[in-house]
Amino acid sequence: MANGSTAQGTTDGKDLELLDKLAKARVELRHQIAQRIVGQQDIVENLVAAILAGGHVLLIGVPGLAKTLMIQTLSQALDLQYSRVQFTPDLMPSDITGTELLEEDHGTGRREFKFTKGPIFANIILADEINRAPPKTQAALLEAMQEHKVTAAGKTYQLPEPFFVLATQNPIEHEGTYHLPEAQLDRFMFELTVGYPSKAEEEQIVAQTTSSYKAVVKPVLRGDEILELQALVRRMPAPPSVVEYSVKLARSTRPGEPGATPEMKKYVSYGAGPRAGQNLVLGAKARAAMDGRSIPDLDDVKAVVPHVLKHRVVMNFQAEAEGVTVDKLLQL
C-alpha cells in the first residue's frame, strides 16, 4: 500500500506496524501484570493509556488495595525506573527535586556545590498520599509534572523521559491533609478510583499472598519504545466529530454555558476548562491505539469521560446538601 491516507487513517506504513506492536504488547502486559496483581484490569489499562498520552494520574483508594505494588509491577513490565515518595507534612520541595550539597575535593581542597538529584529523577513516580504534604511541596511536584524539569540554585535539570506521575489520595482520612486546589487537580489527565476486589478476587489475593508464590514480571516494552508510541498517539488523526464531541462535553459542565443541562446549572459551581477537551481527545486516541486502531471514535471518548471530568467539576453547596455527587451528575 502506498504512503498516504488509508482507510484506517494512518499516513505511514511504520505507524501501522507500531499499532500492531502496541496491540500485541497490550495482551502481554495484561498477562505479566496479572501474575502479581489480581483484578484491577480497568485501572491498569487506564494507567497505560495515560502513559501513552503523556499524562499523569490521580488515584483514589483506601489503603491496602495494592496501589504501590501495581505501580511497581507496571514499571517492571514497561522496563522503567520507579521511585516512590511518601508525602508527609514535613516534606520539603528539595526532598523531592533534589538539593545542592557543599563538597570538598580532597586533592585540591577546593569546595564547590554539587547538585544531588532527588527521587523525582525517575520514569514513574508514585506520590503517595499527595494531600498530606503542604501546598509548597505539592506545587514543586506539579510544576515538574508540567515542565518535565526542575530548577535548583538557578540551574535547570531535565527529567528523564518518559516521565509519569501517579499521585494517590485516601478518600476517608482528611485530618492533617491539604486539599489540592482545582488548578493543580487540572494537571492530572485522569482521576481513577480503586475499588475493593470481588469475593473471588479477594480469596485469590489471600491465597497468593500467604503462600510461597513469587511472580517474575518480564519487561514487555522499553522506555525508547514507549516514547515512540507516545509520538504515534500524537500523530494519530482525530476526526472532527471526536474533537467537537469532546469540546461539547467539556463545555456542558460549565453552568453558564447554553449547552449545560439543568442539573449542571443547579449543582455545579465551576466546570471543566479547555484542558479537559484536550485530555478527552488524547485519552480516546490512546485507547484506540491500544486496540490497534488508528482513528478514535466517539465510544473511545465516552470511555474516558468519567476519568477526565470527575476531578474538574466543582460542586456547590446545594449539591452537597442534597447528596448529589459528581459521579451521579456525570451519570457514571
Task: Output 183 or 203, whichever has higher pLDDT.
Answer: 203
Task: Output 47 or 170, whichever has higher pLDDT.
Answer: 47
Tell me, what's the pLDDT at 11? Answer: 53
Picking from 236-240, 270-274, 326-330, which range would have the lowest pLDDT averaged per residue?
326-330
Tell me, what's the pLDDT at 176? Answer: 61
Residue 129 has pLDDT above 80, yes or no: yes
Bridge-based pairing state of the strands 190-193 and 155-158:
unpaired
87-92 mean pLDDT: 89
Residue 4 has pLDDT above 80, yes or no: no
Tell me, what's the pLDDT at 116? Answer: 84
Tell me, what's the pLDDT at 226? Answer: 93
Residue 104 has pLDDT above 80, yes or no: no
Tell me, what's the pLDDT at 175? Answer: 64
The pTM of this model reads 0.87
Q: What is the pLDDT of the chain when averaged over all its residues?
A: 86
Residue 209 has pLDDT above 70, yes or no: yes
- Name the grid cell of 158: 531535565
Picking from 57-71, 94-108, 115-129, 230-244, which range would have the lowest pLDDT averaged per residue?
94-108
The percentage of the chain sitting over the pLDDT mark of 90, rounded to a whole number, equals 33
Q: What is the pLDDT of residues 282-296, one digit of tens each?
A: 999 999 999 989 899
State phi, psi for 233 to the nearest 5 degrees: -60, -40
Q: What is the pLDDT of residues 110-125, one digit of tens each?
A: 777 788 888 999 999 9
Helix (H, G, I), strand (E, B) or coil at 58: strand
Contact residues for 160 (Cβ-Cβ < 8 A; gap 6+)? 81, 121, 122, 123
Tell me, what's the pLDDT at 234? Answer: 93
**Angle (CA) 173 176 181, round 5°:** 85
Kindly report each contact of residues 239-243 with a partner whose C-beta sits within 8 Å and lies 24 or more positions away, as own/partner: 239/295, 239/296, 239/297, 241/298, 242/281, 242/284, 242/296, 242/297, 242/298, 242/300, 242/301, 243/277, 243/281
Residue 144 has pLDDT above 90, yes or no: no
**Secondary structure percentages of the chain, helix, strand, coil, to 5:** 45, 15, 40
Q: Report which of 78, 95, 273 is spatially closest to residue 163, judged by C-alpha positions.
A: 78
Max avg pLDDT among 136-145, 207-216, 240-249: 240-249
Rounded to whole angstroms, the Cα distance separating 88 from 25 reads 37
Q: What DSSP line would sit under 155-180, residue for residue? A: EEEEPPSS-EEEEEE-TT--TT--PP
Q: What is the pLDDT of residues 231-264, one digit of tens each?
A: 999 999 999 999 999 999 999 999 988 888 888 8
Residue 8 has pLDDT above 70, yes or no: no
User: Which residue ranges form the domains of the chain, and what is each CATH number?
Assistant: 10-233 (3.40.50.300), 236-332 (1.10.8.80)
Rounded to whole angstroms, the Cα distance separating 220 from 24 reads 10
